[in-house]
């Protein structure tokens, strides 16, 4: 079996936490590696910011970077205009390079818009994974209000026309079934996995090095906020909660914000810097930027807690990676975070966006050594239920089912 996994807007090899790269990039590359180990040939297909290229990642796993649109980085909100050209590049890959596919699996709505017509043209079954949904994320774009409507319509059309939908959580599946009621037996749920070897409590041995790097005293608790810096991720809530904790309650802690602003969120980043200063925690907030996966694993293992204040998450891979590291998660109680965080097992869920309530939850965890120790152990146990091997195995079965149905129809 040979499949194409399409991520038009962001390369699976792009560093998570930079530009538009995040959990989707980690998930696609991790699952693709495991599918290749199962003997399935996988072509990853993305848009190139420069010349077209072909990269052999592993046996049975190749990345094709295709030319489409202007050279250089194109803002995600403008990439829609390049979908037709990207689809043509995929067509050329199939015809000129002889890359016939048994199935095309599109990730994110832009990929589906570009490649569903190509799949139909060649009679190839098409599977769609959205990763985020306009209806779930409640997108708002002051610069281009029409983007929300365009994306929402595209998601409806993709859900209706694709041969299968793979959601990453019950929250996403529920949203899809709410907006598209004809999914019937075409939708499956495959949760993300986690690399439990990389994200491991044993990496806490790097505590001295990490603290020296960040300028944090040995005994001071470290709080993490990991992800691309943008308003939807809610890092401002983490900063406000820290102020309530440190200034309001006198509890010492430092917040490390790990990740870079997305291209449209530079203003939000500087607002965060100003906010920390205004709330008298400017010295207690470390803006780290994006780090390697290995360094991120060190940070997780050393931290006392990971904060996940996103307004919504389709799943919340960060929560699993933190839990696998033995670090409890304090997350907003909603959407996919109800699945990636287990209350009282891998962390705590806060049913509020009031900084005072978040500060109380953090103080409770930091002030109760017995609770923190119990959560560290049970968090690791919770994360052990998820793996990329399991995710790839489930996806392989879905591919076989969709192919069988397609062959039965023809």
Helix spans in 8-95 (H):
23-37, 83-95
DSSP lists the bridge partners of residue 404 as none
User: What angle in degrees, to the nearest 10, is found between the helix axes of 369-383 and 317-324?
Assistant: 110
Write down the pLDDT at residue 264: 86
Q: What is the set of domains in the chain, with CATH numbers?
A: 2-193+387-409 (3.40.50.2000), 201-383 (3.40.50.2000)
How far apart are the C-alpha atoms of 263 and 266, rounded to whole Å?
Answer: 6
DSSP-derived letter for residue 15 is P
Residues of the chain with pLDDT under 70: 136-148, 179-182, 410
Q: If DSSP codes are grouped into helix, strand and coil, which group holds residue 193?
A: coil
Question: In a 3-state reduction of DSSP, which class is residue 286?
Answer: strand
pLDDT score of 243: 98
**Does residue 224 contact residue 303 with C-beta atoms inside 8 Å?**
yes
CA distance 6 to 163: 16
Query: 238-254 in b/e burial notation, b at 16+ Cβ within 10 A?
Result: bbbbbbbbbeeeebebb
Residue given tokens 């929300």 in the structure block: 148
317 vs 29: CA distance, rounded Å:
14
Number of H helices, E strands in the chain: 16, 14
Q: What's the burial of 194, exposed, middle or buried (CB within 10 Å: 0-12/13-18/19+)?
A: buried
SS3 155: helix
CA angle 36, 41, 47 (to 5 degrees): 100
What are the DSSP calls for 243-260, one per residue? HIIIIIH----EEEEEB-
Predicted local confidence at residue 268, as pLDDT: 97
pLDDT computed for residue 263 by the predictor: 84
What is the per-residue pLDDT for 410?
A: 63
Residue 16: per-residue pLDDT: 86
Reduced to 3 states (helix: H, G, I; strand: E, B; else coil), residue 237 is: helix
Cα torsion 94, 98, 103, 106 to 10°: value is -40
Output the pLDDT for position 141.
39
Burial 49-67, CB ≥16 within 10 A → b, else e: eeeeeeeebeebbbbbbbb
Where are the alpha helices (H) located in 96-198, listed in sequence order?
109-122, 134-137, 146-161, 170-179
pLDDT at 143: 43
**Percentage of the chain exceeding pLDDT 70:** 95
Alpha-helical regions (H) of 215-289: 235-243, 249, 266-278
pLDDT at 177 (0 to 100): 81
Helix 235-243 vs helix 355-367: crossing angle, to nearest 10? 70
User: How far, in Å, CA of 317 to CA of 191, rounded?
Assistant: 9
What number of CA atoms fall less than 13 Å from residue 404's CA on the CB side?
A: 7
Q: Give the pLDDT confidence of 79-138 residue by residue, as tens digits.
A: 999 999 999 999 999 998 777 999 999 999 999 999 999 999 999 999 999 998 887 655
């Amino acid at each position: 079996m040979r499949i194409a996994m399409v991520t038009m807007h962001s390369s699976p090899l792009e560093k998570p936490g930079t530009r538009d790269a995040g959990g989707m990039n980690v998930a696609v590359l991790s699952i693709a590696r495991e599918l290749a180990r199962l003997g399935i040939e996988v072509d990853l297909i993305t848009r190139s910011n420069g010349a077209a290229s072909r990269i052999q990642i592993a046996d049975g796993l190749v990345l094709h970077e295709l030319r489409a649109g202007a050279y250089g980085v194109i803002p995600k909100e403008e990439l829609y205009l390049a979908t037709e050209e990207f689809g043509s590049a995929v067509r050329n890959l199939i015809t000129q390079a002889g890359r016939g596919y048994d199935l095309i699996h599109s990730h994110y709505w832009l990929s589906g818009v570009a490649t569903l017509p190509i799949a139909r043209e060649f009679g190839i079954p098409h599977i769609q994974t959205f990763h985020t949904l306009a209806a779930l994320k409640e997108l708002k774009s002051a610069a281009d209000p029409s983007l929300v409507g365009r994306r929402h319509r595209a998601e409806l059309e993709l859900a209706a026309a694709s041969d299968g939908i793979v959601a990453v959580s019950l929250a996403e599946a529920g949203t899809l079934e709410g907006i598209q009621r004809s999914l019937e037996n075409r939708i499956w749920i495959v949760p993300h996995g986690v690399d439990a070897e990389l994200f491991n409590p044993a990496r806490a041995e790097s505590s001295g090095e990490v603290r020296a790097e960040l300028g944090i005293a040995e005994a001071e608790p470290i709080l993490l906020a990991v992800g691309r810096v943008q308003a939807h991720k809610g890092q401002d809530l983490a900063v406000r909660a820290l102020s309530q904790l440190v200034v309001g309650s006198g509890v010492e802690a430092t917040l490390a914000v790990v990740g870079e602003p997305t291209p449209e969120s530079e203003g939000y980043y500087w607002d965060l810097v100003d906010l920390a200063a205004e709330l008298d925690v400017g010295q207690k907030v470390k803006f780290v930027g994006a780090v390697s996966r290995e360094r991120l694993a060190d940070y997780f293992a050393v931290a006392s807690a990971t904060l996940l204040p996103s307004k919504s998450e389709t799943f919340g891979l960060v929560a699993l990676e933190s839990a696998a590291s033995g670090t409890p998660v304090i997350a907003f109680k909603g959407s996919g975070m109800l699945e990636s965080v287990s209350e009282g097992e891998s962390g705590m869920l806060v049913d509020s966006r009031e900084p005072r309530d978040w500060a109380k939850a953090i103080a409770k965890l930091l002030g109760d050594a017995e609770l923190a120790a119990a959560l560290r152990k049970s968090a690791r146990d919770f994360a052990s239920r998820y793996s990329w091997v399991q995710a790839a195995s489930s996806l392989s079965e879905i591919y076989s089912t969709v192919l069988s149905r397609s062959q039965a129809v023809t």
